[in-house]
Amino acid sequence: MGGIKVIIFDDHDMIRDSITMLFNESSDFELLASYGDCMNVIEHIQQLKPDVVIMDIDMPGLSGIEGVRMIRKNFPSVQVLMQTVFDDEEKIFAAIAAGAGGYILKGIDSSKILEAVSEVYHGGAPMTPSIARKVLSHLKDLTPQKEDYNLSAREKEVLGLLVNGLSYKMIAAQMNITYDTVRAHMKKVYEKLHVSSMTEAVAKAIHKKLFGMSL
């Protein structure tokens, strides 16, 4: 088997079963295991070496937020996609602050789950529209600090589209460039902004008013 290697942590049996079926039907992914809690998250990841972890936010014993924090500390290359029924702002920002790469709500279309896993694996920060709106609403209240990071016009354009909620794929189509070119631009953006994730890049772009935006 091949493809993006995935582990699921979710205490709902039906959800784990449905996601398991979803991944088993796709050759682009390899589901390594699924667990009802994340009490032994370090041991599981150390043993199975996944690329992406799908993490529920509320689980018995150890919360998904704490699980994310442990993953980021011990396995910084493993990407974490939060999946939950909650769109509570406090939980969203706690998960992002802990190091989650993306945040989607349960019940979204199955194809969107696969797309989100692929996007977070390739360095994106997938969020359902309602989540993205809450993030932007929160960030607009931060005190703006104008700063120049020497971004090229192309890099600013890519980053600006990300701030507006477009995915890498959508940006490539809109700018008439390849997906890999978008990733190359974002690699430069990461270096210039001194960030290591898409969430940080978008947050910094808004916080530093890189586009003179008023959200």
Task: State phi, psi for 201 to the nearest 5 degrees.
Answer: -65, -45
Give the pLDDT confidence score for residue 44 in this predicted structure. 95
Give the pLDDT confidence score for residue 214 in this predicted structure. 37
Task: State phi, psi for 81 to the nearest 5 degrees.
Answer: -110, 115
Token code pair at residue 138: 């929160």
Superfamily name and number for 4-137:
Response regulator (3.40.50.2300)
Give the pLDDT confidence score for residue 181 in this predicted structure. 93
The residue extents of the domains of the chain are 4-137, 143-207
Give the pLDDT confidence score for residue 43 in this predicted structure. 95
Question: Could you confirm whether domain 143-207 is CATH 3.30.70.420?
Answer: no
Give the pLDDT confidence score for residue 37 in this predicted structure. 93
Q: Which of 190, 168, 189, 164 is nearest to 179 (CA)?
A: 168
10-residue averages of pLDDT along the chain (215 residues): 86 87 88 93 95 90 89 90 74 76 79 86 76 63 60 89 82 92 90 80 74 45
